[in-house]
Structure 1
Amino acid sequence: MPSPMIRTRVANACDACKQRKVKCDGNLPCSYCKSRRGNLICHFSPVTRRRAKRPHLPSPESSTAHSSIPSSTRADASPGISAAPIPTAVPPRISDDFTRRSDVSAEEEADVPREARLLCDAQGKLIFVGDCAPLSLFQTVRQIVTSRIDPNAFTPQTGRVSMLENASSHPLIPVNNREPPVNIANSERIVSVFISTCGLVDLFDNAHLTDNISTWIAEQTTSKDAASSINYLILAIGSQSIDEESSTAYFQYAKTLALSLLGGDLGIETVQAFALITLYMLRACQINGAFLFFGIAARAAYSIGLHRTEVNSRFGPKVHAHRDNLWKSLRVLDLFLSISMGRPPSMSDVDCTVPCRTLDSDGQEQFDLLNSTVQILSITEEIVLQVYSRRKISLQLTEGISRQLRDWSNKWLPRLKVVVAEPSRENGANITGACQAMSSYYYAVMLVTRPFLMYELCKRLPESTATINTPSSSSDNSGRARLANACIDAASLMAESVLDLINQQLLDRRMPLIVSWLFASSLVLGVGLLGGFGRILEKYAEMSISALEYFAENDAHAMQYSLIAKSLLSSALKYLERRDINERLRITESSSQLFGLMPKERPPREDRIPTETTQPGAPVADSGMPQNLSSHELLSSPFHDIDPALLSLGCSFDSTPGAPFPGREQQDQTDQVFGALNLFPLLDGNGHIDLAHYL
């Protein structure tokens, strides 16, 4: 019995069979062409891969369900993020401009502006700063304020001083072979300052660190080893806020010694030395140098296997815990450098097995400051990958990230607040670590909600400096408005908590992480006040400025940030005053006719009594508010001297009875203006950048 014929599927047919729409067997020549003696005409064209259709306007379901997360980040995404199913085809690139859509999905999305740019350092070199960096947020805020509120909003002093790299106030001491002298009488105080100010990391056994330094000073010889480099770096960091000249001498000698020993055998001392160099340069406002030297510490850590806990366990329980803490400390430094500058991290968790949580006998997670800091910065890194590597953020993605932030808050925030609420001089390291962990949490909330705040800001502000918008509460209950308010609330809580510890004199004046996050909070509070989110924000903006001024005594970056925050607050208050005057004039125009407070016809011009500001014969404006009329003169002048023409609403309001305010057309114009705003000058103009603000 013959076997049944098995149909085979051919991947590609010849051109003749395709043209005649007949089945091809895939042979060369095929049976169809061979039967017709067309061996020479049997030709197979290469297969062309079909492209996915690019929808013109996404539907409400597809706009929120199809996320454009890069393929490199999908595999690393945490299971806590509730992401929608990812299509097999590459999603289309979304336009920079807001599209005019009336569907519900428009209320659930916001564009993530590309804010990366090149800035000048102290030597005039161009340095890259990424999208999520606080400095990029400042550049965007300055562009919006100067184009819509006041062209002279930020003084030249806020742009001339470098915000990236600042040289030490003491010149670099020439390196010689002499070791700098160490006073054993001050060593204990210096080491205690080092311990209390380095709560962000855990590099040593702090319980025996003071005794080890004292023993090393007493037995100090001319030996040049890694241990001597580490001890000098500890003294350099501890002396930064006490004696900067001695601190510079210690650091220069220790750095030269560490670099000279780099070609030898690598060990834990190598990692510790370059991690301390990174810390010193961060506290000295030399963030680019810190970024470079940390790369050496990261490569050295990988070289000795610090990223694998099974390797660390071979050295015994005590050394095992020390090596794990050293790796987690490096992760904290790496994530801070990466997030604060908007650059890729030097370390990764792809092949890392060091746990960032410790469980007790009951299976409950134990309280640990280092673990809490690693966890919140890891969540922040995920925010950067899933939000700032995209062009849009949806409420669905935000909900997934907020779930992680809520879990961290429920687990760690009450414990951290207990540490901060019970301050003591002996608990300085824990207080510093708790404050930095809380500040990182607040910054993570601001980072994920910042696109919604910027959208609401551009919607509420006028399109040019010549007009003033009246605040509208029609969209205060929208999803974007609630997220914008969450951004402002996080900034307010950060400013309040940091200033409270400053008033108790529990924080050192060199805290690079707190200063960086605090600068972002001052910008958020300033634009929140500018956007009409409440006059109470003036109080919190002043809190952030006071905190920055405290750090500015020893931190050049904090001094620059405080000037920027002051200028933004001043511009916001002036704009609100002009807006209140404009709103009062609008109300007066509609109510003054009830009792004849304002006559309908003004007296002849020659009968009017000249004032000090109006000379006889000087021209008087027929419409519009005089340019030289201050708010005090306007509110104190009698009603009968005011021309009703001065109170005209102009063309910025719809005078039709019953007309809504603002209209849908105005909303669409706002979307277009926000999308058309130049937030990525690096790509425009073929890479040419206007450096007028930075010179």
Structure 2
Amino acid sequence: MPSPRSRVGDHRVPTVRPDQIPLAVSTYLSTSTGLVDLFDNSRLLGDLVLWANLTQKPDDATSIVNFLVLAIGCQMDDEELAQDYFEYARDKAFSNLSGNLSVTAVQAFTLVTIYMLCSCQINGAFLFFGIAVRAAYSIGIHRTEVNARFGPDVHRQRDRLWKSLRVVDLFLSTSMGRPPATSDVDCTVPYHAAEDNTNDVPDLLHASVQIFLILEGVVTEIYSRRKISLQLTEGISLQLRDWSLRWLKPLKDVLADPTIHDQAQVSGACQILSTYYYAVMLVSRPFLMYELCQRLSDTSEPSPGRTAAPGKLRLADACVDAASLMVDPILDLIQRGALVGRVPILVSLVLGIGLLGGFGRILEKYTRMSIQALDHCSKHDTHARQYSLIAQSLLTTALESLEKRELQERMRRTESSSQLFGLIPCDADMVSMSPASQTNTHAPSPAPNPRSRESLDRSFLQHNGLQGMASPRFGDLDAAFLGISDSLLQTPDASYWGGNIGWEADSGSALNLFALLDAGGGIDLAHHL
């Protein structure tokens, strides 16, 4: 089998097969759309095919960029070849840094960053991206008046290159919790300027940069200062609502029918929607954690409306709802095969926390869906595998806590019903007396059998089908811990019934419910009440 490299001049240039170009370009666009917009995508495939058919590739910056595009596009199908392309292009990009900087140099190191992001080398991506940013500042890409000197087409390309840098920068800084490398202090490139579209597809780069700018404000105003208030949250929520009014429906329309849009548009729309939901979760997460701590610190059963003010509780609910809405489109696209495995989607573990805090058992379903999506991405992403293991552990802990809480409640209810009918059997030595004790009312009560509580617990577990559960925690629970006392063995007095109906009440005071059942609920109860 021939080596993927052939010696040309003093450099070993990787061999490029023209028949591999279409699939590689398609995968590259699916991976990068919504994150960067570096080229004229309508011409990218044709330009790469022409370049690949050259007998000897030119030793210039354009070849470096082309190799990096192919490296990103081949990661899914031929990782060894992709690494070969990447290492060659990265080394050439370094060697060209001593020359004049250009837009191509910024593109090259931005592509190096994306490749390393997709191969889970996030620290390396962070370092290489710093080179791309400094090169961009050096040639004035952050100033739209400088970009305008190169004509309309180059002006648009340079403006969009700066927006791409902002998106990648904020993606990296948010994911890693590090300060951004770019700033708008000296920037004049407009982020909200409308561009003429030739079709109904939304401008994904504009949608992406605008939501990431809001996300930057969340990180700066809340997490960097470690302070939050309802007033601050209200201002950020207004920005998110404005973004939602502008972009949410167009993006959802793209995801609603992936068959009429290309894979790159679908993947990019999913990436941007995930970022929007992540921004909602990030701004409301402190309120969710506050509510969770309140509920877990309370020994009684959680009461959603009792532990938090209405405004705080609504924000906690919004955090859980955003996480649920984030899972749906991702898993749907995975099941349709419309989402590539290496797309760097921001993820969260909010669902497991919501389940643990008692925000609804339906969250168990969404948590399992999120784990399924992470497992799909973990085929190519070690970070996704790590998140999946954390989510599984959190799900297990949440379910154990809910089962324990529900068992306690069930035992309390069983105590109440057992006073009526003696549902739970008990040891004979606990309820019977010797003949001497029956004749002598002043005889002391027998000492409690130390095994009585254990037998009572076991009978309850067997009655409810819990004795054979895999978790050993239920078998040795003390009855007092579960809320059961010796009152189970006592006969209830008349006050237990509420005082309205006594044991010797006449037939006229009783309420015949069988007539109500037979009549299908249509009986008049006025004269009974």
Specify the TM-score bucket, using the shorter chain as the normaliser. 0.7 to 0.9
Which residue of structure 1 lines up, in the alignment, with residue 464 of structure 2? 635
**1:326 aligned to which of 142, 152, 161:** 161
1:648 offset after TM fit, Å? 5.5
d(CA) in 2 for partners of 1:475, 1:414: 35
Which residue of structure 1 lines up, in the alignment, with residue 68 of structure 2? 233
Q: Using a 3 Å threshold, how does the CA distance of structure 1 residues 378 and 602 change in structure 2: closer, same or farther?
A: same
Q: Using a 3 Å threshold, how does the CA distance of structure 1 residues 421 and 644 change in structure 2: closer, same or farther?
A: closer
Which residue of structure 1 lines up, in the alignment, with residue 418 of structure 2? 592
Q: Is the 8 A contact 1:278 1:294 kept in 2?
A: yes
Equivalent residue runs for 1:61-460 within 5 Å? 177-199=11-33, 200-221=35-56, 223-359=58-194, 367-424=202-259, 427-460=262-295
Which residue of structure 2 lines up, in the alignment, with residue 537 of structure 1? 363
Larger RCO, structure (CA 8 Å, separation 6 or more): 1
1:358 offset after TM fit, Å? 2.6
Q: Using a 3 Å threshold, how does the CA distance of structure 1 residues 404 and 285 change in structure 2: closer, same or farther?
A: same
d(CA) in 2 for partners of 1:630, 1:380: 55
State the number of aligned residues: 447
d(CA) in 1 for partners of 2:297, 2:252: 41
Residues 513-543 of structure 1 deviation map (CA, whole Å, 9 limit, x = unaligned): x1xx22x1xx110010011000000111111
Q: Is the 8 A contact 2:424 2:459 kept in 1?
A: no
d(CA) in 2 for partners of 1:561, 1:348: 30
Q: Is the 8 A contact 2:51 2:57 kept in 1?
A: no
Q: Using a 3 Å threshold, how does the CA distance of structure 1 residues 584 and 606 change in structure 2: closer, same or farther?
A: closer
Residues 556-606 of structure 1 deviation map (CA, whole Å, 9 limit, x = unaligned): 11112111111211221122111111111112223321234357x853279
d(CA) in 2 for partners of 1:386, 1:501: 34
Q: Is the 8 A contact 1:469 1:579 kept in 2?
A: no
Q: Using a 3 Å threshold, how does the CA distance of structure 1 residues 266 and 243 change in structure 2: closer, same or farther?
A: same
Which residue of structure 2 lines up, in the alignment, with residue 676 of structure 1? none
d(CA) in 2 for partners of 1:358, 1:631: 68
1:645 offset after TM fit, Å? 7.9
Whether 1:492 and 2:324 are equivalent positions in the alignment is yes
d(CA) in 2 for partners of 1:328, 1:637: 58
**1:565 aligned to which of 378, 386, 391:** 391
Q: Is the 8 A contact 2:170 2:216 kept in 1?
A: yes
d(CA) in 2 for partners of 1:441, 1:311: 32
Q: Is the 8 A contact 1:461 1:469 kept in 2?
A: no
When you count helix as a share of all residues, which structure comes out higher? 2
Q: Which amino acid aligns with 2:302?
A: P
Q: Which amino acid aligns with 2:99?
A: G
Q: Secondary structure at the match of 2:262?
A: helix
1:417 offset after TM fit, Å? 0.9
Give percent identity, aligned residues only.
Answer: 55
Whether 1:509 and 2:344 are equivalent positions in the alignment is no
Q: Is the 8 A contact 1:624 1:648 kept in 2?
A: no
Q: Using a 3 Å threshold, how does the CA distance of structure 1 residues 625 and 431 change in structure 2: closer, same or farther?
A: farther
**1:470 aligned to which of 301, 316, 332:** 301
TM-score relative to the length of structure 1: 0.61
Q: Which amino acid aligns with 1:395?
A: L
What RMSD, in angstroms, separates the aligned Cα atoms of the two structures? 2.9
d(CA) in 2 for partners of 1:387, 1:479: 17
Q: Using a 3 Å threshold, how does the CA distance of structure 1 residues 223 and 297 change in structure 2: closer, same or farther?
A: same
Q: Which amino acid aligns with 2:364?
A: E
Q: Using a 3 Å threshold, how does the CA distance of structure 1 residues 494 and 630 change in structure 2: closer, same or farther?
A: farther
Q: Is the 8 A contact 2:281 2:322 kept in 1?
A: yes
d(CA) in 2 for partners of 1:349, 1:221: 42
Q: Secondary structure at the match of 2:428?
A: coil
d(CA) in 2 for partners of 1:426, 1:537: 31
Q: Which amino acid aligns with 2:342?
A: R
**1:482 aligned to which of 314, 337, 341:** 314
Residues 364-419 of structure 1 deviation map (CA, whole Å, 9 limit, x = unaligned): x9942111110100001001111112333111111111011001101110111111
d(CA) in 2 for partners of 1:337, 1:203: 18
Residues 624-665 of structure 1 deviation map (CA, whole Å, 9 limit, x = unaligned): 8999x6995362499xxx9998256569xxxxxxxxxxxxxx
**2:376 aligned to which of 547, 550, 554:** 550
Residues 639-692 of structure 1 deviation map (CA, whole Å, 9 limit, x = unaligned): xxx9998256569xxxxxxxxxxxxxxxxxxxxxxxxxxxxxxxxxxxxxxxxx
Which residue of structure 1 lines up, in the alignment, with residue 437 of structure 2? none
Consecutive unaligned residues of structure 2, counting only runs of 5 or more, are 1-9, 433-448, 468-474, 485-529
Q: Secondary structure at the match of 1:452?
A: helix
Q: Which amino acid aligns with 2:429?
A: P
Residues 124-183 of structure 1 deviation map (CA, whole Å, 9 limit, x = unaligned): xxxxxxxxxxxxxxxxxxxxxxxxxxxxxxxxxxxxxxxxxxxxxxxxxxxx93111111
d(CA) in 2 for partners of 1:644, 1:226: 71
TM-score relative to the length of structure 2: 0.79
